[in-house]
Structure 1
Amino acid sequence: MKVVAIVGSIRKESYNYKLAKFVQQHNADKFELEILSLNDIPMYNQDIENDAPQAVLDFKAKVKAADAVLWVTPEYNSSIPGVLGNAIDWLSRVDKVMIGKPSWIMGASMGNLGTVKAQMHLRDILFAQGLGSPVLQGNEVYVGAAHTKFDAEGNLTDEGTVKFLDSVVENFMNWMKLYI
């Protein structure tokens, strides 16, 4: 199974990127996970959506070819970051590569509540008409106090979080049997 991860942070030391990297490495025997970069995705502009830049075409092609999308989002101002919203705008236009594509969501933050509000907004967005993505329910991953759960090398070291992620991955794998 091929999964792409879209991380809503472009910060070099992003806890959300570290979380996606952990899922990728820890589950390499279960599925292939490619972490997509949003660094080169230009701002969405309807004037060029039918003749999108190559970075957008490549991004959309990878999402289209994947069996599922893992969204890993920080929380900015109680919602998703602008860079993530921009990527979603591109995905929801013209060929609408997200329609029917299964999604699952997680996020990490230094706050105690993880990314609860951002994930609620993201779920709503993924159900929008141009996206129509089924979302794995009941397996929310809110990694709060992330700065205490990763070591200096970026490894997830919190045993409880690792065990919980293992159970969510198992639930995701079982859920995906409905789609592939």
Structure 2
Amino acid sequence: MNIVAIVGSLRAASYNMMLAKFIQNRYAEKVTVDILTLHDIPMYNQDEENNPTQAVVDFKARVKAADAVLWLTPEYNSSIPGVLGNAIDWLSRVDKVMIGKPSFIMGASMGNLGTVKAQMHLRDILFASGLGSPVLQGNEVYIGAAHTKFDAAGNLTDEATIQFLDKVMNNFIEWVQ
């Protein structure tokens, strides 16, 4: 099974990128995880939606080719980051590559609640008519106090979190299959 992991942070030391890399490495025998960054995605402009940049064309093609999408989002101002919303705008237009594609949402932050509010908003967005992506329910991953769960090298070290991720990733893989 092929999954694209869309990381909603541009920060060099992003906990969500660390989480994506952990998922990619830990579950490599079960799934292939292609991590997508949003650094090169230009701002969505309806005037350009039929003639997007190559970065957008490639981004949409990688999402379309995947069996499922793993969203890793930080929380900015109690919602998703603008860069993630922008990427979603591109995915929801013209060829609408997300329709029917299974999604799973995770997030890590330094706050105690993880990314609860951002994930609630993202879940609502993914049900919009231009996206229509079913989202795995009941397996929410809110990694709070992320700065205490990753080491200086970016490795997830919190055993309880790792065990929980083992459980929910298995649930996600079974659900998609």
With the shorter chain as reference, the TM-score category is over 0.9
Residue 80 (structure 1) shift: 0.0
Alignment coverage as a number of residue pairs: 177
Q: Does 2:2 correspond to 1:7?
A: no
- Matching residue of 1:94: 94
- Matching residue of 1:139: 139
Cα distance in 2, alignment partners of residues 176 and 9 from structure 1 = 25
Residue 164 (structure 1) shift: 0.2
- Matching residue of 1:42: 42
TM-score, normalising length: structure 2: 0.99
Cα distance in 1, alignment partners of residues 6 and 75 from structure 2 = 14
Q: Quick check: 2:8–2:37 contact (8 Å CA) kept in 1?
A: no
- Matching residue of 1:175: 175
Q: Quick check: 2:9–2:17 contact (8 Å CA) kept in 1?
A: yes
Q: Deviations over 1:35-70 (max 9, x none)?
A: 011000000000000001110000000000000000
Cα distance in 2, alignment partners of residues 137 and 173 from structure 1 = 13
Moved over 6 A (4+): none
Residue 144 (structure 1) shift: 0.2
Residue 76 (structure 1) shift: 0.1
Residue 87 (structure 1) shift: 0.2
Q: Deviations over 1:88-107 (max 9, x none)?
A: 00000000000000000000
Residue 173 (structure 1) shift: 1.3
Cα distance in 2, alignment partners of residues 95 and 117 from structure 1 = 29
Q: Quick check: 2:92–2:130 contact (8 Å CA) kept in 1?
A: yes
TM-score, normalising length: structure 1: 0.98
Cα distance in 2, alignment partners of residues 173 and 90 from structure 1 = 26
Cα distance in 2, alignment partners of residues 152 and 53 from structure 1 = 36
Cα distance in 1, alignment partners of residues 154 and 142 from structure 2 = 17
Unaligned runs of 5+ in 1: none
Unaligned runs of 5+ in 2: none
Residue 21 (structure 1) shift: 0.6
Cα distance in 1, alignment partners of residues 171 and 48 from structure 2 = 39
- Matching residue of 1:77: 77
